[in-house]
Structure 1
Amino acid sequence: MAFKVPRGTQDILPDQTPKWQKIESVLRELARVYRYKEIRTPIFEHTELFHRSVGDTTDIVQKEMYTFEDRGGRSLTLRPEGTASTVRAYVEHKMYGAPEQPVKLSYMGPMFRYERQQAGRYRQFVQFGVEAIGSADPAIDAEIISFAMDIYQTLGLKDLKLVINSLGDKETRDAHRTALINHFKPSIHEFCDDCKNRLEKNPLRILDCKVDREHPLMKTAPKLTDYLTPPSKEYFDQVKKYLDVLGIEYEVDPNLVRGLDYYNHTAFEIMSTAEGFGAITTLCGGGRYNGLVEEIGGPNVPGVGFALSIERLLLALEAEGVELEVEDGLDVYVVALGDEAKLKAVELISSFRLKGISADMDYMMRKMKAQMKSADRLQAKFVVIIGETELEEGAVVVRHMESGNQEKVQINEIVNYLKEHLR
C-alpha cells in the first residue's frame, strides 16, 4: 500500500521551508516591535469552549470541527482558531490581574477545520494571530489593524484592500436582529436549510451564507450600520479617525459580519486584489469581541484581535510575484581526497560548526569533480580542499566560489580566515 498525506493537509518540503521561516521571522519581529508577547496553547481543547465562544450557529461549530472523545469520555476538539484558546488561558491564569494592561498576546501554530480543500485553504493550516485584552479604547482597534497591514506590506504585498464595518453593541444587534427576521422570514423557504435554522437563532449568520449569497434579498437586507446606537457610531467614527491619522486607506462595507459569533463593534478584513489570486480574496480578518472573556468565565473585560493564514499569505505573494529574500546558502563545503584527508575533514567541519559557520561535506564517496558539483548545487560560498599534499603541509586550499580564485591557508588559521571573509 502506498501511503499518501491525508486529504486537506500538505508536506512542506525542505525547498519550501526557507520561505516559511522567513515569514515566521517577520511575524515574530513585528510582534516584538508592537509588544505582543507569544503565548502557546494546547492543540486540543474541551469542545464546549468552542461552542460557547465561536458560536453554535457558525459553520465552524456546525460543520468544520474535528471532535473526538478521549478514553475518559471527555469531548475534545482540535482547535479551529486561536482566540478561544488564548482567552481561555487569559482567564485561567488570571492575566486580567497583571499590572500592565491591556495584555497583548500573539500566537502561531496549526489549526484544524474540516472544509473543502481549495487553493491556499487546508484542513490543517498555520495561523498567526494577536489579541489585545483589557482595553476598550478605539485606538487599539486601529493598532491591531495597523499591525495586520504592516505584516503584508513588510513582506512586499501591494495589491491589498482593507474593509471595515461596525457590528455595534448589544442594543444595536438586537434591533438589527429583529429587522433581519422581518426581512427574511416571508421568503425563508427559498433559502438553504442552514439559513432556515439560523433565522430565529442568529439571523446575522444568514448574511455570511455561501450558498445563498446571490439571493436578491441579500442585497436589500437591513444594514447593521443603520441601527448603530449613538455610542456605537461614535466608537466607529473614532476608529476611522485613528486609521486616517495612520494613513491607512479603508472601505466601509455594511455587509461585513465575519464568521464568528463573538465579534461586536469593529470588524475588518484585509483582501488581496491581485489578478489571478482566486475567488476567495480574504487574507486576514479580525475585530473586537467585548463579552467573550465573560462568556468563558472571566470578568467583563473587552478584547480585540486578528488572525491570518500563512498558506493564504504565501498564495498572495505568489500572485504578486514577490520573491522573499531567504538565506539558504552554505558557508563552506569541504572536499576530502583520501581516507586520511576525510578524517581531517570531519574534524574541520566540527570546528567550523562550533563557530557558527555552516559546513558540509561528501558522504557518498564521490570523486573530486562530483564533490565540486555538489558544492555548486548547495551554493557554497567557499570550498575547502584537503588531500595528501595539504596534510603534509598543514594547510588547505580555499576556493572562493563566486570569483573562482583560490589560495592556501594554514589549517590552524582556517577558522579565523573563514570568519573574516564571511563577515
Structure 2
Amino acid sequence: MTTSITTFADLAATDQLLVVADFDGTLADLVPDPYAVPVNTDSLAALARLAGLPGTTVTILSGRHVDGLTQVCALRTPVNLVGSHGAESASGSLPLTQDMRAHLAHIENSLTRILAAHPKAELEVKPYQRVAHVAKVAEEDPEAARNILERVAEIDHGGAHITYGKNIVEFSAAEFTKGTWLAAERERVGATRTLFIGDDATDENGFRVLADHDLGVKVGEGATAASVRVADTTEVARVLTDLADARTAHTGIPAETPARFRAVAASFTAEVLRVHDWDAQTPCSEWTARDLVAHLATWYPANLRNAGVDLGLRTDARENPAEAWTELVSATQALLDDPERSGAQFTAGPDEGQTVEQATRGFFIPDVFMHTWDLGRSQGHDVRLDEEFAARNLAGLESLGERLRESGQFGPAHPVPEDARADVRLMAHIGRDPEFGLRG
C-alpha cells in the first residue's frame, strides 16, 4: 500500500469532494449469481446522504454495464451510475466503432468455444467487453476454474485491454479503465479531494491515479496501491456512514431552497433505502412507513395545484412507496431548480399569496426533515437529524406556543433531558416518543 497524509477528516472538510465506489465486492457482497447480490443498504444510504450535500459528487463506478448496474443498485440521481469501467453512463457512452465490434465478435466466438464444455461457466456480453465468469465452477472445483481461466487467457486478443479479476477474465474493446475515468472526472468536477473505494484488480487502476491529497480504500486482501484497507463490505458501510456524518456536520443544511431540499430529501432517501418493512408502525400513531411516504407524496403535489403547478406524478405511493418517493424528489427538485416555475404564486389554499419556493421552504422541507426521523425510527434506526437545522425548527415551533396543538396535527410534548440532542427535543416537542423504535 502507498502512504497517504490524507485523513477522513480532511475529506469531510474539503471544498469539492468526489466520492467514487466500486459496486461488486464493495457495496455488495460477491456471490455466484450477479443479479442476486446482497447489497449493503447502509452503504447506499450513506452515499445518498453524501450526494445531497453541497460540493459533493458521488459516483458508483462499476465494471457492470449500466443497465445491469441499475438492476441491482437502487441509487439514482443525484448519485451517478457509471458502467463498463467508465465507458458508459446514463448521460452518454463511448462510440462503438466497426473495429471494436469486430474485436468483440472474435473474443466472443473464442470464449464460446472454450466455455461450451463447462455448463456452469458463463459468458457475459457487455457493450464494450466480453467476460468469462467461473465463480460457479470454482464453488465445486477450484482447480477446474483455474484451468478454464488459463485457457481463456491464451486467447489472441490483439493487444487489446485484458483484465484479470476474481474468477473472471475480461476483454475490452475500449481503452477506458477506472483510472482513466477517475482522472478525467476529478478534473471535470474540480475535486479538491477524492475518495475511491474498491476491491478488485480493476480498481487498482483507480488507486494508482490518486494524488497524495486523495484517499484510496482497498476492500479485502491482496496487494494494492490504496493507502487504507478495510476487511469487508460491512466496514465499507462504516467508513461511508462516518464520512456522511462528518461531511453533513461540516456543510450543514444549505440556505438556498433548491440546495436545502436536495440535502433534506437525500436524508429521507437514505432511510427509504434502509426500509425492511413498509408496514411497520411509525411514531405517527395512525401511519405505517408506507402511509408516511403516501402522505408526503399526496399533500404537497395537491397543494401545488393551487399555484397552477402539476408535478405529473404517476406512481401509487401505497403500492410502491420507494419508487413514488424517487419520482416525487425528482419532480420537486426540477421544480425548485426552475426559477420561473418555483416563482409561481398560490392563488388559493393556506399558502395563498406565497410563491412555490416560499411555501416549499416553509412547510414541505421541514415536513420531510421531521418525517425522516419518523421513517428511520419505524425501522429501529436511531436517526440523527442535522443539529442546527433541528434547533431552528424547534425554536420556530416553540414560538407558536399552544397554537401548535390547536391544529390537531401534533400530540402533547414528551419530556426529555435538558442535554438531549436538538433533533430529539424537536421530535419530543411535536409529540413523538423519544424512545420509539429503540426499545428492546
> What is the TM-score with the length of structure 1 in the denominator?
0.28
Q: Which has the higher strand share?
A: 1
Q: Which has the higher helix share?
A: 2
Q: Which has the larger radius of gyration?
A: 1
